[in-house]
Structure 1
Amino acid sequence: MSTNPIIKGFSPDPCICKANGKYYLATSTFEWYPGVEIWESTNLVDWDLVKRPLVHEKHMNLTGIPDSGGIWAPALSYHDGKFWLFYTICKQIDGVFKDVENYITTCEKINGEWDSPIYIHSSGFDPSLFHDGDRKYVLNPQWDYRSTNGKVRFKGIELREFSYEKSKFVGESHTIFTGTATGGAEGPNIIKKNGYYYLICAEGGTGRHHSIVVARSRQLTGPYELSPYGTLITSFHDMGNPLQKAGHGNIIQSYEGRWYLVHLTSRYISEQSRVCQLGRESAIQEIIWQDGWPRLKGTDYSPLVNIESLPARKKNSEYFTTSFNNGVLDKEWFMLRRPIGERIKLNEGFLRMYGGDSLSSLFNQSLLARKWKSFDFNTETTFRFNPNNYQELSGIVCYYNTKNWLFLYVSRDEISHQRVVNLLLNKNGSISEPLSGLYGYLPNDCEKIKLKFSVENAQIQCYYSHDNEPEHSIGQIIDGTFLSDEKVDGWAYTGAMVGITAIDLKEKISYTDFLHFSYKDK
């Protein structure tokens, strides 16, 4: 049973810390709500989602945020008896500008109510906070919108002392690292060991060239020298490695005294296809120290799938089912950009969802979604829905972003005056109807409708049934590789999701009662 990835499905930019005998790891959520996922473990292999801290408007407002904007690269640390969370809200990412806001929020208990955040600055993204005794320093990748006279976008890593009590910077700015020839130095973290400050930095952009490099200095403000062993981790020169795009992470010493690096990675459906539907996931490597420098144990710089010093993972496949009968939504449900609020109501044995915007909207969708955890799974939902017209739609969706999704849904056909099952396919903003009007028709007296996706090697077959009738396939198998980082046009930082949604393009008063949802890896 493999060790990696330790967190499957869309879970990029891991940042790890330890507190009170446990480990905590934060990952990015981008446009998905609530913001930031915090995972807990006692053995560095088996992780449980314990908190989504950014839940209130005081923490973030993502309404209208573009696809792959939102919450970038959170930095989680534990110091002074409380947790510190540094996060970026990216509001605009096209062109030469990156319009961002960087905040810090704190909480004494990981499951507690996180404080109102303090605004830090809007210069650069993926910052972190380094605690050096009773002093705190902001590490920040500087972004330069200019491109003339040899200027580069990633201008270098800035270090500056910050007073949390005064909510302002109190020291001078120091550019401590400008990166290597690879370029794109970002995601900085510092650890202190044996009198040295070690700077861990991602480089190469979050694609095939992604990597991590290390530099060190006796003084916090530098000068920093690069590791003589070169890159700490990358998959770029190892095309057959199951763990691709290795980069962006940080280093921690375990309670047993061993050292580990957590980092993001991606898995291709196959070496030939070279597409990642699951997005960027989280992985772990053991670190050894050689001549005072961190290196991967058991390899040069290529990530390993199995880590000998760690136990086998207890759960290697995903199974989730709910009949919405406990009055609480499972933590792994996502919403888009904002809380659904009054548009969903949990009742005994069903979830009532009122229709919202279309799947192309950046604003008020009624959508609950979960991550794809593998390339082979079955997922289905059962619901009651009696639309009045073709502008009321409800069903199940495989979703990457507003311009890439497959929607299997029920609506009403005004010609036959019947409820119908139909498909909408959106590939990079081009929307089509794969059934070409050959709908599945539902009897007028049917009560419960079931819709299902069966996904195998990223190929998607759709099914439907009603009440206790056998299920029927509908339409041809659809190549789902368009729901991948590589085939999405523009920014693609998340991963494939599956969920339930209700749409009302007329009055926003129709509703669907979802009775059941399940997801099971094959």
Structure 2
Amino acid sequence: MITIENPILPGFNPDPSILRVGSDYYIAVSSFEWLPGIRIYHSTNLAEWTHCTDLLVDQIDLRGNAQDCSIWAPQISYDQGTFYCVFTNVRNTTRPFKDCRNYLMTAPSITGPWSSPVYLNSSGFDPSLYHDPDGRKWLLNALWDYRKTTPNKSVGIVMQEYKETEGLVGPKTNIFSGTDLAKTEAPHLYHHQGYYYLLTAEGGTGSGHSVTVCRSRAITGPYEIDPKNPMMSANGRQDSPFQCTGHGSLVQTLEGKWFMSYLMTRPVEGAAILGRETALQEVYWDTLGWLRVKNGDTIPDRYLQLPLETHVHKEAQVFTDDFAQTLLPEWNGRRLVPHEQWCRLKERPGYLRLMAGESLQSHFDNHLLAIRQKDLCFEAETLMDYKPSHFNQMAGLVLFLNEENYLYLYVTYDETKGRVLRLMKNEKGHFTLFDTCVPLKDQPVQLKVVLEGSQGQFMWRQDQGWQRLPAQSILFLSGGFTGNFIGLCAQDLDQFSGSYADFAYFRYQEKC
């Protein structure tokens, strides 16, 4: 036996859907506005996970989608040689409505080629495709009813048969209307010992997040609720190693053990800067046939025992891109896939050339190239060559949660001082331009950011040592559905793509 530490997928990796095919394990997570979307991780032992592939590389257009929308809760499944993936593209969540579209993709291999997304329905979100032992397939999703007076308008889980040649057929059945925890979503259906077991997320994705289990002899119900519901929840439990635990999905190992992947947070001073992460918990079926956490409680374990002979060494997170040939797959674009059209590696060999796009608050052409923050303490650094000639031209290093929350160290132009270094912040939609306005020499500049828990500090260097700017609280880079990202970006609000910034490298390293 070896001991591993949760989370298994640190940083922004929410809504895990876990799957075993033979001796291979896969987890799909939500990507929201970040592309390429639907990140897939792979493992052969449940302990060591690596980025395997991304779905929706060039198959969907997210430009214009509202904040905290886009790709929600993908679910992956496998049946008779074919991989399936269903997901939601949420366009808008302004109450009372939720504009969303559910899609299905298939592939002969987890790495593709994946079919173009096929539209299914728009009645709700968090779809899952269940392959019944009798050969039929069923689509489940949360049902949204705009007529409800509560802010969350989920009225349970609806199910409809799916046929490969015809699509959705037959009646829609509301198989589960939820418990008093409410906000019922994220359905996952399993067949075990003569019962259909339905796992759902309830209580919202915040502190009340929970895993609810119910069961029925018939797939259409009625479903009996676990008498000890919720099966997992950290709500009100300060002794829990993690908070916001929920959105579970199950996998059985070749040895017959059961594990549940679920999302959780690690708040710093109450703020989940890393976003919602993925952890793993051993579970079992009790003598009455109900699913239970292995530790006998309803809160998860930080450490997990796995039946492995080889020790798994957890190394410090390090990411380096010297922009030699192609962009490394760790990179993400905001509603845009990183593409040669704006991320160029050929025009100046050894450099990344970012063509300047729209502002950091744009929902269309935000030329931001970023990676997930995976650690509570880290430093990130780059060397940038940029020659702006107008105050509306900017490029630099940014901490970015979403369009309403970012902290940006950038080079721009000032009419009296020439090329300068400045700092801006958007906190919950309130914009601040700091007084910092440092004249720069006409040469490349190194930019760095160091984060330690709730504090972030930007630095810069040209000829001399690192010059430090005042530390800033970064607690505001939390909330919503995603986590903080660290990125390189360029903007030209005078002439779209009228300027560009060249970056010689980017380095990220865990520090504690």
Structure-1-length-normalised TM-score:
0.93
Describe the SS at the equivalent of 1:216: strand
| 1:33 paired residue among 35, 50, 72 | 35
Please say if residues 45 and 310 of structure 1, whose CA atoms lie closer than 8 Å, have aligned partners that are also in contact.
no
Distance 1:234 1:52 in 2: 30
Please say if residues 321 and 327 of structure 2, whose CA atoms lie closer than 8 Å, have aligned partners that are also in contact.
no
Please say if residues 2 and 313 of structure 1, whose CA atoms lie closer than 8 Å, have aligned partners that are also in contact.
yes
Describe the SS at the equivalent of 1:205: coil
Q: Once the two structures are superposed, what CA deviation does each residue of 1:43-75 show, in whole Å capped at 9, x if it has no partner?
A: 11211111111112xx32110111100000001
Give 1:8's aligned residue: 10
Give 1:195's aligned residue: 194
Pairwise mapping of residues 167-178 of structure 1 onto structure 2 (< 5 A)? 167=167, 169-178=168-177
For 2:188, the aligned partner's letter is N
Give 1:469's aligned residue: 464
Describe the SS at the equivalent of 2:141: strand
Distance 2:343 2:76 in 1: 31
Give 2:142's aligned residue: 141
Please say if residues 449 and 456 of structure 2, whose CA atoms lie closer than 8 Å, have aligned partners that are also in contact.
yes
Describe the SS at the equivalent of 1:180: coil
Distance 1:152 1:67 in 2: 17
Please say if residues 390 and 494 of structure 2, whose CA atoms lie closer than 8 Å, have aligned partners that are also in contact.
no
For 1:217, the aligned partner's letter is S
Give 1:488's aligned residue: none
Q: How far is 1:164 from its partner? A: 2.2
For 1:519, the aligned partner's letter is Y
For 2:284, the aligned partner's letter is I
Describe the SS at the equivalent of 1:439: strand
Distance 1:302 1:234 in 2: 6
Distance 2:399 2:491 in 1: 15
Distance 1:142 1:457 in 2: 38
Distance 1:162 1:407 in 2: 47
Cα 1:154–1:313 shift into 2, 3 Å: farther
Q: Once the two structures are superposed, what CA deviation does each residue of 1:380-420 show, in whole Å capped at 9, x if it has no partner?
A: 11121111121111100000000110000111211123x11
Q: How far is 1:240 from its partner? A: 3.3
Distance 2:403 2:498 in 1: 23
Give 2:112's aligned residue: 112
Cα 1:172–1:426 shift into 2, 3 Å: same
Is 1:495 aligned to 2:496, yes or no? no
| 1:511 paired residue among 500, 504, 507 | 500
Give 1:315's aligned residue: 314
Q: How far is 1:257 from its partner? A: 1.2
Please say if residues 69 and 93 of structure 1, whose CA atoms lie closer than 8 Å, have aligned partners that are also in contact.
yes
Give 2:96's aligned residue: 96
Give 1:442's aligned residue: 440
Distance 1:240 1:450 in 2: 43
Q: What RMSD, in angstroms, separates the aligned Cα atoms of the two structures?
A: 1.6
Distance 1:2 1:308 in 2: 7
For 2:500, the aligned partner's letter is Y
Distance 1:54 1:237 in 2: 38
Distance 1:295 1:177 in 2: 20
| 1:304 paired residue among 298, 301, 318 | 301
Cα 1:122–1:390 shift into 2, 3 Å: same
| 2:24 paired residue among 13, 22, 25 | 22
Is 1:207 aligned to 2:213, yes or no? no
Distance 1:307 1:406 in 2: 36
For 2:330, the aligned partner's letter is E
Distance 2:452 2:127 in 1: 39
For 2:490, the aligned partner's letter is A
Q: Once the two structures are superposed, what CA deviation does each residue of 1:186-231 show, in whole Å capped at 9, x if it has no partner?
A: 1001111111111111100000000001111111111111123321
Q: Once the two structures are superposed, what CA deviation does each residue of 1:92-132 show, in whole Å capped at 9, x if it has no partner?
A: 10111000000000111111221011110000000100001
For 1:518, the aligned partner's letter is R
Pairwise mapping of residues 37-76 of structure 1 onto structure 2 (< 5 A)? 37-56=39-58, 59-76=59-76
Describe the SS at the equivalent of 1:75: strand
Give 2:355's aligned residue: 354
Distance 1:276 1:192 in 2: 35
Give 2:178's aligned residue: 179
Please say if residues 332 and 338 of structure 2, whose CA atoms lie closer than 8 Å, have aligned partners that are also in contact.
no
Cα 1:126–1:313 shift into 2, 3 Å: farther
Cα 1:305–1:151 shift into 2, 3 Å: closer
Describe the SS at the equivalent of 1:495: coil
Give 1:241's aligned residue: 240
Describe the SS at the equivalent of 2:475: helix
| 2:335 paired residue among 337, 353, 365 | 337
Distance 1:151 1:502 in 2: 37
Q: How far is 1:503 from its partner? A: 0.8
Please say if residues 135 and 161 of structure 1, whose CA atoms lie closer than 8 Å, have aligned partners that are also in contact.
yes
Is 1:159 aligned to 2:159, yes or no? yes
Q: How far is 1:155 from its partner? A: 1.3
For 1:177, the aligned partner's letter is F
Q: How far is 1:6 from its partner? A: 0.6
Pairwise mapping of residues 366-515 of structure 1 onto structure 2 (< 5 A)? 366-417=367-418, 419-434=419-434, 436=435, 438-444=436-442, 446=443, 448-466=444-462, 469-474=464-469, 476-485=470-479, 492-507=480-495, 508-515=497-504
Q: How far is 1:458 from its partner? A: 2.2
Describe the SS at the equivalent of 2:306: coil
For 1:453, the aligned partner's letter is V
* Structure 1 residues not aligned, in runs of 5+: 486-491
- Paired residue total: 501
Please say if residues 4 and 306 of structure 2, whose CA atoms lie closer than 8 Å, have aligned partners that are also in contact.
no
> What percentage of aligned pairs have identical amino acids?
38
Is 1:262 aligned to 2:236, yes or no? no
Distance 1:351 1:299 in 2: 52
Distance 1:89 1:11 in 2: 17
Q: How far is 1:313 from its partner? A: 4.7
Please say if residues 213 and 225 of structure 2, whose CA atoms lie closer than 8 Å, have aligned partners that are also in contact.
yes
Describe the SS at the equivalent of 1:43: coil
Q: How far is 1:151 from its partner? A: 12
Structure-2-length-normalised TM-score:
0.95
Describe the SS at the equivalent of 1:482: coil
Cα 1:90–1:227 shift into 2, 3 Å: same
Please say if residues 53 and 113 of structure 1, whose CA atoms lie closer than 8 Å, have aligned partners that are also in contact.
no
For 2:210, the aligned partner's letter is S
Distance 1:112 1:159 in 2: 27
Q: How far is 1:79 from its partner? A: 1.0
Distance 1:337 1:218 in 2: 43
Q: How far is 1:139 from its partner? A: 0.9
Please say if residues 187 and 201 of structure 1, whose CA atoms lie closer than 8 Å, have aligned partners that are also in contact.
yes
